[in-house]
């Protein structure tokens, strides 16, 4: 939609920008309106109740792209979280570190009105309507912070490895395990509820087609989450997910993050199965920069 210079980010750099609100066109707002209107009945049917409460407490405008400052006015008193504008990709250590600081890097661009279903990368609808309502829940917020702390644990662990090849191998596998965990929970997680399975993952909460597919399609395998399975399970991002994992509650999710960190310290993440996602150089570097400090 617009060009914003992306600075080369290093650990400690502030990745945030101002949301250039005046640059949204009427068509951009129309895209938001259309996305929001068609998701609303699906949220009522398939989203978990914490998300529904979150949508209510954020007072999101169904008709206009939200101003992040307005969103934060409602969000911050609830959990301390804030949605902070970024111009694009954030290297993974910095992203996780932002979570630790209760800052959620938020994309400010919106998908095109004539391509509402096509989403190669996050946009403001995914981030603000899919993720941020979950950040109003204290248990979920604590889980994200805890996950952010795991990134520091990872950096610390690899800083103690002298051999460079072993260090890079170990770190690559740990990042892979963390990315898989994030994918199968925060992005695509399902949760039990008295009314049956409900969605809490933001990739599903922001997808008109997949939110329903995730709950009703016979083509989806749905299993109670097992940490050792999730961290060894490859995933692909360009089609509906054929395999989803179920948690019992956010307390359960929090305990899984604890377990993840414990296993990381014990070396159990250092040799997870190869395969997707590919860990890119920039992500590795973001952790290595931190561990060199
Ligand atoms: Fe996301």
Whether 50 contacts 250, CB under 8 Å: yes
Q: How far, in Å, CA of 272 to CA of 83, rounded?
A: 32
Q: How far, in Å, CA of 87 to CA of 195, rounded?
A: 39
Q: Is 279 left (phi over 0), alpha (psi -120 to 50) or beta?
A: beta
Whether 93 contacts 286, CB under 8 Å: yes
| Cα three-residue angle 130-50-78, rounded to 5 degrees | 90
Question: pLDDT category, 10, cuts 50, 70, 90?
Answer: very low
Whether 154 contacts 177, CB under 8 Å: no
Report CA(76)–ligand 1 centroid distance (Å).
20
Report CA(169)–ligand 1 centroid distance (Å).
26
Question: Which of 132, 70, 144, 145 shows the shortest CA–CA distance to 106?
Answer: 132
Report CA(240)–ligand 1 centroid distance (Å).
15
> For 108-134, what is each residue's pLDDT tens digit?
999 999 989 867 789 999 999 999 999
Report CA(128)–ligand 1 centroid distance (Å).
10
Report CA(186)–ligand 1 centroid distance (Å).
8
Q: How far, in Å, CA of 161 to CA of 274, rounded?
A: 21
Report CA(90)–ligand 1 centroid distance (Å).
12
> For 180-234, what is each residue's pLDDT tens digit?
999 999 999 999 999 999 999 999 999 999 999 999 999 999 999 999 999 999 9
Report CA(196)–ligand 1 centroid distance (Å).
24
Report CA(228)–ligand 1 centroid distance (Å).
22
Report CA(201)–ligand 1 centroid distance (Å).
8
Burial environment of residue 65 by CB neighbours within 10 A (0 to 12, 13 to 18, 19 or more): buried
> For 235-273, what is each residue's pLDDT tens digit?
998 899 999 999 999 999 999 999 999 999 999 999 999
The percent of residues above 70 in pLDDT, for the chain, comes to: 95
Three-state secondary-structure class, residue 85: strand
What pTM did the predictor assign? 0.94
**Average pLDDT over all residues of the chain:** 94
Q: What is the pLDDT of residue 195?
A: 92
Report CA(126)–ligand 1 centroid distance (Å).
6
Q: How far, in Å, CA of 97 to CA of 229, rounded?
A: 25
Whether residue 103 is predicted with pLDDT greater than 80 in this model: the reply is: yes
Q: Is 208 left (phi over 0), alpha (psi -120 to 50) or beta?
A: alpha
Report CA(162)–ligand 1 centroid distance (Å).
34
Q: What is the pLDDT of residue 12?
A: 54
Report CA(180)–ligand 1 centroid distance (Å).
13
- Reported as type and span, the H/E element at residue 124 is helix 124-124
Describe the chain by its helix, strand, coil percentages, rounded to 5.
55, 10, 35
Which residues have C-beta under 5 Å from ligand 1, the single-atom ion? 202
**Token pair listed for 239:** 């089609």
> For 141-182, what is each residue's pLDDT tens digit?
999 999 999 999 999 999 999 999 999 999 999 999 999 999
Report CA(279)–ligand 1 centroid distance (Å).
17
Whether residue 69 is predicted with pLDDT greater than 90 in this model: the reply is: yes
Report CA(40)–ligand 1 centroid distance (Å).
19
Distance of CA 94 to the CA centre of its chain: 13
């Amino acid at each position: 939609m617009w060009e914003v210079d992306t600075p080369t980010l290093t650990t400690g750099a502030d990745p945030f920008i101002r949301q250039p609100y005046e640059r949204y066109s009427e068509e951009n707002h129309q895209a938001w309106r259309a996305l929001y209107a068609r998701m609303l009945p699906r949220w009522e049917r398939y989203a978990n109740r914490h998300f529904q409460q979150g949508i209510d407490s954020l007072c999101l405008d169904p008709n206009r792209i939200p101003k992040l400052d307005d969103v934060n006015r409602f969000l911050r008193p609830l959990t301390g979280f804030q949605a902070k504008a970024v111009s694009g990709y954030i290297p993974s250590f910095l992203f996780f570190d932002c979570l630790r600081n209760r800052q959620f890097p938020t994309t400010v661009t919106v998908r095109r009105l004539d391509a509402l279903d096509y989403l190669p990368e996050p946009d403001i609808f995914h981030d603000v309507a899919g993720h941020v309502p979950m950040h109003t829940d204290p248990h979920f917020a604590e889980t994200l912070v805890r996950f952010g702390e795991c990134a520091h644990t990872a950096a610390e662990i690899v800083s103690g490895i002298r051999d460079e090849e072993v260090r890079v191998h170990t770190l690559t596998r740990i990042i892979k395990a963390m990315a898989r965990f994030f994918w199968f929970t925060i992005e695509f997680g399902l949760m039990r509820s008295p009314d049956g399975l409900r969605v809490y993952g933001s990739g599903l909460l922001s997808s008109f087609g997949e939110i329903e597919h995730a709950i009703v399609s016979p083509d989806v395998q749905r299993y109670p989450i097992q940490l050792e399975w999730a961290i060894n399970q490859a995933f692909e991002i360009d089609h509906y997910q054929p395999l989803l994992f179920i948690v019992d509650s956010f307390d359960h999710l929090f305990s899984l993050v604890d377990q993840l960190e414990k296993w990381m310290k014990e070396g159990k993440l250092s040799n997870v199965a190869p395969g997707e996602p590919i860990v890119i150089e920039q992500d590795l570097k973001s952790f290595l920069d931190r561990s060199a400090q």
